[in-house]
Chains A and B, each alone.
Chain A
Amino acid sequence: MGHMKKGIYLLLLSISIHFLAKAQDNAGLTLPTGFKANLFAENIGSARHIAISKNGVVFAKLNRADKQGRTIIRLADENKDGVSDNITGWANYGGTGIYLTGNALYASSNEAVFKYELDSKDEVVNPLSPITVVSGLISRRQHESKSITFDKTNNIYVNIGAYSNACQEKDRTPGGKGMMPCPILDSAGGIWKFDASKENQTYGDGKRYATGLRNVIGLDWNPQANKLYVAQHGRDQLNTFFPSLYTDAQNAELPAETFYEINEGDNAGWPYVYYDNFQHKKIVSPEYGGDGKKEGASDIKNPAVAFPAHMAPMGVLFYTGNQFPAKYKNGAFITFHGSWNRAPLPQEGFFVAFVPFKNGKATGEWEIFANGFAGTVDGAKITSTRNAKARPCGLAQGPDGSIYVSDDTKGSIFKISYQK
């Protein structure tokens, strides 16, 4: 009897060691066959977006200053073992955006975009005196991140998020009416385009490139289609503010998080409509007289891909490398931060998705590429968002074709590679 007990304990122990070892194999991530992951960095702070140089130096933008008061972190892997070993940093403003083009490193606060120059060793030349490219952008607490990307002709695209949930007269009020027209859209709730070669610009120097986008954190230029792609965070709390129209379960699934191909002048419809991924329709928001069925105007942009609600897309990366299998080439990776507004139902997200593209167009399909960031046992659901161990945010491609994913809770950077 005693032997049997001992045997069972040993069996349980070996099973748990097996699972632990398996989980640590890939920094705790679940990946498609042939892929592996490791921690390139840990505990660097609230790492939002990341950029990588030709030499493989990673730059991370922190949302808050780290203990040394820095908000741009430079991570080099000098002994080339896949883990950063020389970490330095500078700057004193929190924010999300960072982008590298040639030897120019652009970083954003929640109000402005700054430009730094890197030398041939990817060291910053002017850490204390960056050039101000754009400033004076609206930042009113909600949706304040100014994410940035570039086209091929040195124009910079800046997200200016709407400082509101659904443009109600009083934000987040049960049954509250939406303002008509929504005054926020003049200066926020869209993407603005600026010439990156000019200095000290503000609203009047740029143009509103796309509107009706509540909050975009993930955006990237699709080089094959030569077009901007953006991922929108859909509105919250349909059930909280309109309980007679939406149940908790309906709110957990509505509206879809949406990924758009953007042409100049496009309108994605916020706050007047939202995208319903079950009816495959743009539905009039309840703040504007909608009842969950009434369709919105037909000239509003349709998403290229729709995802489950509230998962919070944070980073978009068009993959141009040669390391991954052919199906990934020219497709898009999207990080999902993980939801909160699905409560009281379990949360979703906390993964990196892959969106296949054919000839520059999304096929409409998507799949989970890397999962397990939340760190729960056997993929159990997170019920309270703070319990997620890591929340995927920034995305960038290294010179060898590996991709890097940042986490803004504790500041891990995961490196994901493919080996035949």
Chain B
Amino acid sequence: MGNSKIRCFLFGAIIIMLFVSIKTQAQNLENGKKIYQTKCLVCHQSDGGGVPNMNAPLDGASNVIGNDIARLVKIIKNGFNERVELDGLYYSNSMTANPDLTPAQISDVLSYIRTSWSNKATKVTTVQVQQAIKGNQKTSAK
């Protein structure tokens, strides 16, 4: 009798936790979308397509859906002012730095970008972003 009550309670708790976690994740993506719209959309466009020769695409871009999270965090934080190749093409525009974004906000916007349009990469956690910022500080201190 007591056992089944506990089982019932545990089951309910798991359901609630799952629900809360799904809801939080949805909120994170919703928040990431808002950040995208205010900080990124003008250059990277509403469909993540970027602008040929000017602003790099995010949709389908190998670096964006790849595993080097630290590099993505660095670009969002510090902006980007280098001539580098992305999937065989070059983009000329400078990217604005976003020093004010918190690790939680960066994880939200990165999760939104990595799971939107044709992108099906993993989401990025706040802990991953915090680790990336620490790592990037070490590399730049060298």
Q: Which residues of A contact B (CB under 8 A)?
A: 63-64, 141-144, 165, 170-174, 237, 240-241, 340-341, 343-344, 383-387, 391, 409
Contact = CB atoms under 8 A, between A and B. Distances in A.
Contact of B49 (A144, A237, A341, A385): A385
28 contacts: A141-B83, A141-B94, A143-B92, A170-B97, A171-B94, A172-B79, A172-B95, A173-B96, A173-B97, A174-B96, A237-B42, A240-B96, A340-B42, A340-B54, A340-B55, A343-B42, A343-B45, A343-B46, A344-B41, A344-B46, A384-B46, A384-B49, A385-B49, A386-B47, A386-B50, A386-B51, A387-B47, A409-B52
A159 to B, nearest CB: 15
Interface string B96-123: 1100000000000000000000000000
Interface in B31-67: 37, 41-43, 45-47, 49-55, 57
Interface string B65-106: 000000000000001010100000100111111000000000
Contacts of A173: 96-97
A66 to B, nearest CB: 13
B95 to A, nearest CB: 7
Given A171-B81, A340-B54, A384 B93 contact: no
A386 B49 contact: yes
B118 to A, nearest CB: 13
Interface of B: 37, 41-43, 45-47, 49-55, 57, 79, 81, 83, 89, 92-97
Contact of A172 (B37, B52, B57, B96): B96
Nearest to A391: B52
Contacts of B96: 172-174, 240-241
Contacts of A387: 47, 49
Given A240-B96, A386-B45, A387-B47, 13 more contacts: A165-B94, A170-B97, A172-B79, A172-B95, A173-B97, A340-B45, A341-B42, A343-B45, A344-B41, A385-B45, A385-B52, A386-B47, A391-B52
Most A Cβ at <10 Å: residue of B46, B50, B51: B51
A241 B94 CA distance: 14
